[in-house]
């Protein structure tokens, strides 16, 4: 009875609300930490898949193209293609290379079967002049990349009939400008024959893979949950001391 009387205040409505608030906070933070760990696993799986694909030997582009092509299935595969560049080019801005801001040069390549492949030929200085593409037939090797779309909160490109600059490689938006049958993926150039010269755009670096901050975020959420639980214990102990009868 003495113990029940001593802890009876914990069943008062105000304290019950406090218990519920702390319990919800602890459970929510634990779930947030577990979610960050799941995101970490997803990032690691994506990195492993990327490495597996780029380490595969390059294959002819035509061997991967089909009517039911799923761009996500072949993304990052290395491919080869032959054809002739068109003179029209689009500057892809707001990019980075080697820790500095750059623009990229998008050039349409009419491949041997008549389709048009958008090739990211590489980086140039911001607001620099895009070098003209080779005027001869070329054979290229590159990494396949899926079309990019505007995400929520991102800026939109200007709605112009002729696109000279763009924030993203939106192939659906670029298709009317280049005509013909546009390949539903684009290529980041890795090598070319004839080889790129010093006046050509600098080839893009191989993407650097990382795991992000998911692990540190998970630890933070778990630490926060421990702090809330410790705070609850301290609040209860303090209330017990203030309610203890004076000797």
Q: Which residue has the higher pLDDT, 25 or 156?
A: 25
- 11-19 average pLDDT score: 89
C-alpha atoms less than 13 angstroms from C-alpha of 137 in its C-beta half-sphere: 5
Structural domain boundaries enclosing 35:
2-46+213-243
Together in a domain, 66 and 127: yes
In a domain, 106, yes or no: yes
Total domain count, the chain: 2
Confidence category of residue 1, pLDDT binned at 50, 70, 90:
very low
Together in a domain, 82 and 37: no
| Residues 67-81: tens digit of each pLDDT | 677 878 888 899 999
| 214-243 helix and 13-54 helix, angle to the nearest 10 degrees | 170
What are the counts of helices (DSSP H) followed by strands (DSSP E) for the chain? 5, 8
Together in a domain, 36 and 63: no
For residue 180, the model assigns a pLDDT of 66
Which of 182, 153, 154, 152 is closest to 90 using CA atoms? 182
- 2-27 average pLDDT score: 83
Together in a domain, 61 and 30: no
In a domain, 207, yes or no: no
Q: What is the mean pLDDT of the chain?
A: 88
In a domain, 90, yes or no: yes
d(CA 39, CA 188): 27
Together in a domain, 70 and 144: yes
Together in a domain, 106 and 37: no
Together in a domain, 109 and 18: no
For the domain that residue 125 is a member of, what is the CATH number?
2.40.50
Together in a domain, 168 and 218: no
| Residues 209-224: tens digit of each pLDDT | 788 899 999 999 999 9
- 110-132 average pLDDT score: 92
pLDDT for residue 179 is more than 80: no
In a domain, 205, yes or no: no
Between the two ends of the chain, the Cα-to-Cα distance in Å is 20
| Residues 232-242: tens digit of each pLDDT | 999 988 888 88
């Amino acid at each position: 009875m003495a113990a029940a009387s001593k802890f009876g205040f914990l069943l008062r409505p105000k304290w019950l609300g406090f218990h519920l608030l702390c319990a919800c906070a602890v459970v929510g933070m634990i779930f947030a930490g577990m979610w960050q760990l799941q995101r970490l696993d997803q990032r690691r799986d994506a990195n492993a898949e990327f490495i597996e694909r780029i380490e595969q030997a390059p294959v002819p582009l035509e061997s991967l193209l089909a009517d039911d092509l799923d761009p996500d299935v072949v993304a990052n595969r290395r491919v080869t293609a032959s054809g002739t560049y068109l003179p029209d080019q689009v500057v892809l801005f707001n990019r980075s290379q080697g820790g500095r801001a750059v623009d990229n040069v998008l050039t349409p390549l009419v491949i041997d079967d008549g389709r048009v492949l958008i090739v990211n030929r590489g980086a140039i200085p911001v607001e620099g002049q895009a070098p003209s593409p080779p005027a001869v037939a070329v054979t290229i090797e590159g990494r396949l990349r899926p079309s990019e779309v505007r995400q929520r909160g991102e800026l939109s490109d200007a709605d112009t009939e002729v696109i000279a600059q763009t924030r993203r490689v939106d192939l659906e938006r670029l298709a009317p400008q280049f005509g013909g049958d546009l390949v539903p993926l684009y290529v980041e150039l890795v090598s070319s024959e004839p080889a790129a010269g010093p006046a050509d755009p600098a080839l893009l670096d191989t993407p650097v893979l990382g795991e992000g901050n998911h692990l540190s975020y998970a630890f933070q959420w778990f630490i926060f949950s421990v702090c809330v639980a410790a705070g609850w214990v301290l609040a209860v102990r303090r209330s017990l001391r203030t309610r203890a009868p004076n000797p």
